[in-house]
Structure 1
Amino acid sequence: MKDMRPAGRMWHLYKMGGLTPALTSMFDAQSAQQMAFIRSIMKEQRKNSLYEIPLESAELVVFDLETTGFSPYNGDEIISFGAVNVHGDQVTEEETFYSLVNPKRAIPNTVEELTGISTEMAAEAPDLIHVLRGFLEFVQQKILVAHGTGHDKHFLNSALWKTSKVNLSHRMLDTMMIAKWLNPKLNTYDLDTLLDVYGVEVTVRHHALEDARMTARLWSNLMIEIKSRDVQTLGDLYAHLSQH
């Protein structure tokens, strides 16, 4: 006798028709489509080496996340995504992605004061899976860039696993690590310090899209120094960063 409880029904459908019918049986059709798309993006990305891509023509997305705290594994959630396209060292200012996310929990007062995002505002936003799909449609197979990637990578991985049971497979570059390699004598490498060092105008801090834009302009400045050191490809850059 077949086990027709939810988990048993999903396993039966998976064996009969694959992942998408199984997911559709457990979730609404729209969520199943979002999940299948997210999984397909991660699968395609695993096929790409990217190491030989010249930095001068590399397609990148600089992004930033605002969150309710510091640990996605202790209940903290993403509350906004911001991203901007970059081609080599040229920031494509008009090609951006931004969305609030409904974290399905209260936003701490300290986070509201920092980001300007209230619990009420976030409650009107789309759910995580819908925003994550929109973000990945924007990113496609491009290289991801962020400042202090540890935080953002943890939250992205948590979001991907929570919604689609996959891990992030995109290559990432960290402007903080690049700045440490290029400027080993600086005392601190936070975004505010580096924006000041490289003369990037500060617009609105702790707004995901504005932080992404400022980080993209920082990347553009860092690229001038990277190229001056005869670093030509993504593989070259990773090789230098691995030594620092």
Structure 2
Amino acid sequence: MIHWVKQMSEKFSIPLVTSLNPNSFEHHSFMRQLQKDLKAQKPMNTPLQSLKITVIDFETSGFYPTGGDEILSIGAVKIRNGDVKYDETFYETIQTPELLTDDIASLTGLSAADLAEGKPLKTTLRAFYQFVGTDLLVAHHSGHEKAFLQQASHRVFGHSMRHRLLDTSFLYRAACHHTSKKTLEECCNYYRIPVEGRHHALSDAFLAARLWSASLRDVLDQGLLNLSDVYTYLSRSRIL
């Protein structure tokens, strides 16, 4: 699985867009327009299957972005009409080889060479936001990705991210009626999704995307048609 993920990331990942210099007028115009488009969105009553989603995963040097930990790699995959788009992916390592400890290398499979060949954070974030566009973001245990993305965006662009970021548990809890937090492995096992290549950013993004897609089918079968329906159901069921 992990070899397949690496092949997919090399074959299908959206290349880093270099036409917009991160300090250029065009780039700042793009970011301003993106903020306007995000504000204009009203996803709460959009049919769940019609939501344009990018599922993301970060591998990081630790758990505390305000304590000096950094993003090491970013993986992302699109979901359209409820289906995982395996040919619409993003993967990049960040140029931070000095932050790679033996423990993180063992956990993620990343090497100092992988990070040395990566792109600067500013370049990668710009390309990441261009890939995402105005999509709704989804991640498993999304607080981790949100904290690091907020910190990195503020440092690079001078403002925090504006994207709505949902946790996979949002749909999973409604679909499976579970109230406790579950690991990605536990959630995938429930749906018999094979778990391989863990702690590779793109591989984990694929797993989270498949989990979202499987949960989506179940909540639709329950008659929950949009985000507002799911929020109401979770609140009334005291599952939130």
Aligned to 1:174: 167
Q: Which runs of no fewer than 5 residues in structure 1 stay unpaired? A: 1-28
Aligned to 1:124: 117
Q: Which amino acid aligns with 2:222?
A: R
Give the % identical residues: 34
CA contact (8 A) 1:39 1:166 kept: no
User: CA shift at 1:65, angstroms?
Assistant: 0.6
- Answering whether residue 78 of structure 2 is matched by residue 85 of structure 1, we say yes
SS of alignment partner, residue 105 of structure 1: helix
1:1-244 paired onto structure 2 within 5 Å: 30-33=21-24, 36=28, 37-103=30-96, 105-185=98-178, 189-242=182-235, 243=238, 244=240
Q: Which amino acid aligns with 1:30?
A: N
CA contact (8 A) 1:181 1:241 kept: yes
Q: Which amino acid aligns with 1:50?
A: P
CA contact (8 A) 2:61 2:72 kept: yes
Q: Which amino acid aligns with 2:61?
A: T
Structure with larger Rg = 1
User: CA shift at 1:241, angstroms?
Assistant: 4.1
With 44-53 and 159-168 compared, the bigger mean Cα shift is at 44-53
Alpha-carbon distance in structure 1 between the residues aligned to 2:216 and 2:164? 17
Length-normalised TM-score, structure 2: 0.83
CA contact (8 A) 1:179 1:189 kept: no
Alpha-carbon distance in structure 1 between the residues aligned to 2:61 and 2:32? 26
With 160-169 and 178-187 compared, the bigger mean Cα shift is at 178-187
CA contact (8 A) 1:62 1:146 kept: yes
User: CA shift at 1:160, angstroms?
Assistant: 0.5
Cα deviation 1:72-91 (Å, max 9, x = unaligned): 00000001111111013211
Q: Which runs of no fewer than 5 residues in structure 2 stay unpaired? A: 1-19
Relative to 1, partners in 2 of residues 1:151 and 1:81: Cα closer, same or farther, differing over 3 Å? same
Cα deviation 1:83-124 (Å, max 9, x = unaligned): 111013211111111111113632111111111112332122
Alpha-carbon distance in structure 1 between the residues aligned to 2:68 and 2:129? 23
Alpha-carbon distance in structure 1 between the residues aligned to 2:69 and 2:98? 9
With 150-159 and 221-230 compared, the bigger mean Cα shift is at 221-230
Alpha-carbon distance in structure 2 between the residues aligned to 1:154 and 1:39? 22
SS of alignment partner, residue 32 of structure 1: coil
Q: Which amino acid aligns with 2:69?
A: D
User: CA shift at 1:179, angstroms?
Assistant: 2.2
Length-normalised TM-score, structure 1: 0.81
